[in-house]
Amino acid sequence: MHSIFTRINNVSALLSSCMMGLLAAIALSSLLFTADPKGELAIRSVRVYPSKTPRYPRRKQEMAFVNFNMTADLTPLFNWNTKQLFVSLEAEYENTQGVKNEVVIWDRIIRSKEDAFIRVAAKNKYAFREISSSFKKVPAAHYALKYNVMPYVGFLTYGEAARTREPVEFQLEERV
């Protein structure tokens, strides 16, 4: 009646349809399990120093150095469908032209539930420069600890674990 190739094609089509249905159910069920991680963020100081860029030595630019303390318990974000977390500390401010900026100053990838409790006292990992070359008239910045849950199957989810209550001023320093 049917050849062996037709039967193999029918069985593989049925199995792939069942697999896609199962993956869709997993993706939708991961949206139902929401967690609310908590953390604390304290900015100790934000100092701005004049610096020179290696590419343009005559151009003056200022760099900000942020010292912070941070603790966060991200273990509620780990479930059976969590592959890893991407955690970042972001500075959010408006420059003198009114453009809203979000700058990542520290990040970490967390691959297991055992590493999901973060306790960090450090300074920014990445260079923090203002595009207009100066922080002089830039208003104070808010800082937020944000996370991105990367699942095995399904949609990426984003959230925020901690935020500074009050904006933190940039302290302009003169380097001697």
Beta-bridged to residue 51, according to DSSP, are 61
Cα–Cα distance, 161 to 18 (Å, whole number): 37
More reliable by pLDDT, 87 or 47? 87
Q: What's the pTM?
A: 0.80
Residue 174 pLDDT grade (very low, low, confident, very high; cuts 50, 70, 90): low
- pLDDT, one tens digit per residue, over 114-154 is 999 999 999 989 988 887 777 887 888 899 999 999 998 88
- pLDDT, one tens digit per residue, over 22-44 is 888 877 777 777 788 999 999 99
Give the pLDDT score at 176.
46
